[in-house]
Amino acid sequence: MPITKSEVTKIAQLANLELTEAETDQFTDQLAAIVKHIDQLNELDTAGVKPWQQRSAGALQASYALRDDVVEPSLGTDKSLEQAPAHDAGHFLVPRVIGG
């Protein structure tokens, strides 16, 4: 499945990116190479391979991945809001980012 310049342009528009013609050409080539590699991977016979469910934590496994769950006291609302730039009625106030 080859990647076209029009697809790269559409993806850039969806991501609110302004690409130059050279960047569009470059990304088209790069994405085409990635898709080609994925197509090669899809040709592999993985019927006998078990799904990989969890990555080993290595040396940390004994102290992290397998540690006992311990209930500890929470930080609390007052302490949490202590250094917040803005808060009101026990909530963090943040700038509006949608429908502003």
Which pLDDT belongs to residue 68? Answer: 76
- State the angle between helix axes of 21-42 and 5-14 in degrees (0 to 180), rounded to the nearest 10: 100
Cα distances from 10 to residues 6, 14, 33, 40, in angstroms, run 6, 6, 18, 25
| pTM exceeding the 0.85 threshold for the entire prediction | no
What is the domain extent for residue 10?
5-42
Residue 56 lies in a domain: no
Which pLDDT belongs to residue 96? Answer: 85
Residue 19 lies in a domain: yes
Which CATH number covers residue 26?
A: 1.10.20
Which pLDDT belongs to residue 99? Answer: 72
CB-based contact 5:22 (threshold 8 Å)? no
Residue 12 lies in a domain: yes
Residue 37 lies in a domain: yes
Each residue's pLDDT tens digit in the chain (100 positions)? 689 999 999 999 999 999 999 999 999 999 999 999 999 999 999 888 888 766 665 555 555 556 678 899 999 999 999 999 999 999 999 988 887 5
Residue 25 lies in a domain: yes
Separation between Cα atoms, residue 36 and residue 69, nearest integer Å: 45
Domain count, the chain: 1
Q: Which residue has the tokens 């040396």?
A: 59
